[in-house]
Amino acid sequence: MSKFLPPESFAATGAYDLLPFNFTRLEGDSYLATNMVGESLIVDRSTLDDLVNKRLAPSHPSYTDARAKHLIAEKGDKASAELLALKTRTRYQRLQNFTNLHMFVTTLRCDHSCQYCQVSRQSEDKGAFDMTLEMADKSLDMVFRSPSKAVKIEFQGGEPLLNFDLIRYIVSKAKVRAAAEGRDLEIVIATTLSLATTEILEYCRDNHILLSVSLDGPSDLHNKNRPRPGKDSYQRFVANLQAAREIVGYDRVSALMTTTLASLPRVREIVDEYVGLGFEGIFLRALSPYGFAVKTRVYAAYDTEQWLKFYKDGLQYIIELNQAGIPFREYYTTLILQKMFTCADPGFVDLMNPAGIGIAAVVFNYDGSVYASDESRMLAEMKDQTFRLGSVLENTYEEIFLNEKLLSTLEESFTLSAPMCSECAFEPFCGADPVFSHAVYGDVVGRKPASDFCKRNMAIFRHLIQLMREDREVEALFRRWSALC
Amino acid sequence: MLERVISFDPAAYSLETIQRAAYRYIDKFSIGFNVKEASIDCILQFDKEVDDLDGVIQDFRKEVLDQHLRARIAKETESIRHLILAHAFSRTGLV
Ligand code: SF4
């Protein structure tokens, strides 16, 4: 007798059970079907009908695909459900680690006065807007209560370099504790670079600190978006970028941009600026509906449709650059593609389910307050303290992280139970953004059909799928992007 | 306010299926129901910004069909879905 079963044993029988999957109409007669981990299939309506009603013949071209993508399992096949469970577990693996990104707002003071900035203060008053040593110590105690083996500390502001002594203090203490506990420590400073001196940069080099810098586009646009005394934000940026790359390391510096009304017609120039300055990609971000951006009406200055046009134009241009032999990526697209093509969750706060607040990231503010996310503290600047979890000076770790508001928000906004999300084929690619919903609609779930968050993401998902269906080269490029990070 | 009435056969579609479909059009119309033995009448009141009423109604009908199919998948896969999620979350301490 052979050790192996004959090939007929593996042939499709045509008798199958359904596995959990969702579907959503794309355009015309096409439907996207996805399982719980985002494995997907595009079929027409009659094939979908046959699939669900168990009439799909094994000879149908979609049959094998539906099996391979775990939308159906042949009778008696237990392995498919087990594999799906394993992949689902991989997808939610992050949850075990709980919080790994800890943001420290070392000061609210800033040398810039950006119109869209939510929080910064033009003040010399260190006492009023700087984090104290005691708060830093207590915050560090919380950081090292996290079960995560990998600990990431990100310094935010204001301009965090204005309180560099405190950064040194926190870094030296965090390093000692991480070494003693055998944890991996990653440190990032989010800065405009305008105040970066050689001494600061050398310190960053010696302590393996990453720099996340701000670049909004060509000189005139950057200076308009980011006013500072001397009107030289861009010039300082370029000079200090070069110094930072030389001292800290070329690949230790990444950039972030903010899209204002003035940016909208200029996406190609913005991308050119990034390419010209040697960056490998760009994050085309929409303005958030918080803080000064709302107060000064900058947020309302453009709507989702306008931003989507900006994004689509930018992405098209980036594809053209790649086709012309210039490798360059759009990072939001890359995050989504990772979710489309792999079981791993990239852990981006806006695209996580359960929501990333408190779980993926937590903010220690300059005044000792702890917030569930960066957006939560911006909301607090508008006198909305909904997502303030407590204070490092007054509350214990348990009181902060078992905060009723945090837990109920996570539960209510869980996309597998939220109306519309729970049956949306894009759900595995999307996330829950309760702070956005709360800020705009007043409840943490929001009505998805009217939500800008849903509208924006759904339009992007549809667009990416369409681009890949229209052009195999684009699909190959997107697959490469998703495999890169 | 523009109003239209459309009907579905209760033998083919449940009220819940129609309600789920209607949720997706929350930004286009509000809906009331008149459930009778032979039909479920839906009274649609359109927001004034909506101009293509027929297009939206046609879309809504397709959505009801889709919801019907979704309900079928959900019913058949409910237990396996719970099993998979329980397995996925079992080590997180969240369940
Ligand atoms: S927010 Fe919109 S796109 Fe995202 S899962 Fe929910 S319904 Fe789908």
| Cα dist from A367 to A105, A139, A174, A176, A456, whole Å | 9, 11, 20, 25, 34
Tens digit of each residue's pLDDT (9 = 90 or more) over A148-178: 888 999 999 889 999 999 999 999 999 999 9
Q: Ligand 1 pocket, A458 CB below 6 A?
A: yes
In sequence order, the 6+-apart residues with CB closer than 8 A to the CB of A57 are A14, A63
> Is ipTM over 0.90?
no
The two structure tokens encoding residue A426: 């894009």
Q: What are the DSSP calls for A183-212, one per residue?
A: -EEEEEEEE-STT--HHHHHHHHHTTEEEE
> pLDDT at position A384, please?
85
pLDDT-derived band at A114, boundaries 50, 70, 90: confident
Measured at the CA of A306, the angle between CA A303 and CA A308, to 5 degrees, comes to 105
| Partners of residue B80 in chain A, C-beta under 8 Å | 19-20, 81
Binding site membership of A420 for ligand 1 (Cβ less than 6 Å): yes
Statement: residue A481 has pLDDT above 70: yes
Number of other residues whose CB lies within 10 A of the CB of residue A191 = 24
CA angle (A9 as vertex; A8, A11 as ends), nearest 5: 60
Cβ <8 Å between A420 and B23: yes
Are A447 and B87 within 8 A, CB to CB? Answer: no
Output the pLDDT for position A288.
67
Q: Is the pLDDT of residue A394 over 90?
A: yes
Rounded percentage of chain A residues whose pLDDT exceeds 70: 92
Amino acid at A352: M
The tens digit of pLDDT for each residue in A302-350 reads 788 999 999 999 999 999 999 999 999 999 999 999 999 987 777 787 7
| Residue A369: its H or E element | strand A369-371
Quick: pLDDT tens for A40-91.
999 999 999 999 999 999 999 999 999 999 999 998 888 888 888 888 888 7
Rg (CA), chain B: 17
Quickly state the pLDDT bin for A438 (edges 50, 70, 90). Answer: confident
Per-residue pLDDT tens digits for A397-414: 888 888 888 888 877 777
Tell me, using a 6 A CB cutoff, whether residue A31 lines ligand 1: no
> Cα torsion at A142, A99, A460, A409 (round to 10°)?
-80
Quote the pTM value: 0.88
- Does B75 lie at the interface with A, CB-CB under 8 angstroms? no
Higher pLDDT, residue A38 or A14? A38
pLDDT reported for residue A453: 87
Residue A46, classed as helix, strand or coil, is helix
pLDDT tier at A295, thresholds 50, 70, 90: low
Question: How many Å apart are CA A440 and CA A375, to the nearest integer?
Answer: 12
Domains observed in chain A: 14-91 (no CATH), 94-401 (3.20.20.70), 408-470 (no CATH)
Output the pLDDT for position B94: 44
Contact A120, A157 (CB under 8 A): yes
Residue B92 confidence (pLDDT) above 50: no
Q: What is the mean pLDDT of chain A?
A: 88
**Atom 1 in ligand 1: which residue has the minimum CA distance?**
A454
Question: Looking at the predicted structure, is the pLDDT value of residue A121 above 70?
Answer: no
Greater pLDDT, A378 or B4? B4
pLDDT the model gives residue A436: 80
Residues sharing a CB contact under 8 Å with residue A235, sequence separation 6 or more, in sequence order = A219
Q: Inform me whether the pLDDT recorded for A264 exceeds 90.
A: yes
Cβ separation B76–A84 shorter than 8 A: no
Tens of pLDDT, residue by residue over A31-40, are: 999 998 899 9
The DSSP result for A229-294, as a single string, is TTS-HHHHHHHHHHHHHHHT-GGGEEEE----GGGGGGHHHHHHHHHHTT-SEE--PPPPSSHHHH
Confidence at residue A260, expressed as pLDDT on a 0 to 100 scale: 87
The tens digit of pLDDT for each residue in B35-84 reads 999 999 999 999 988 989 999 999 999 999 999 999 999 898 888 888 87
Which of B27, B73, B88 lies at the smallest CB-CB distance from A92?
B88
The pLDDT of residue A382 is above 60? yes
Is A447 close to B88, i.e. CB distance below 8 A? no
Nearest CB to B88: which of A85, A419, A450?
A: A85
Closest-approach residue (CA) in chain A for B70: A22
CA–CA dist A31, A107 (Å, integer)? 50
Match 């999620």 to its residue by tokens. Answer: B85
**Where do we find the tokens 């009801």?**
B64
Residue A51: per-residue pLDDT: 95
What fold, for B2-90? Answer: GMP Synthetase; Chain A, domain 3 (3.30.300)
Residues in chain B closer than 8 A to A23 (CB atoms):
66, 69-70
Higher pLDDT, A171 or A147: A171
Residue A446, Cβ neighbours under 10 Å: how many? 26
Neighboring chain A residues of B67 at a CB cutoff of 8 Å: 423
Does residue A42 contact residue A61 with C-beta atoms inside 8 Å?
no
More confident residue, A108 or A104: A104
- What pLDDT is attached to residue B95? 43
Residues 6+ apart with CB under 8 A from A224: A262
How far apart, in whole angstroms, are the C-alpha atoms of residue A269 and residue A255?
16
When mean pLDDT is compared across A4-18, A238-252, B16-30, the lowest value belongs to A4-18
What is the C-alpha separation between A314 and A286, in angstroms, rounded? Answer: 13
Of the listed ranges A143-147, A309-313, A353-357, the least confidently predicted one is: A353-357
Beta strands A30-35 and A209-214 are: unpaired
Across the interface, which of A21, A96, A450 has its CB nearest the CB of B73? A21
- State how far Cα A275 lies from the chain centre: 22
Mean of the pLDDT values across residues A384-404? 89
- Tell whether the model's pLDDT for residue A360 goes beyond 90: no
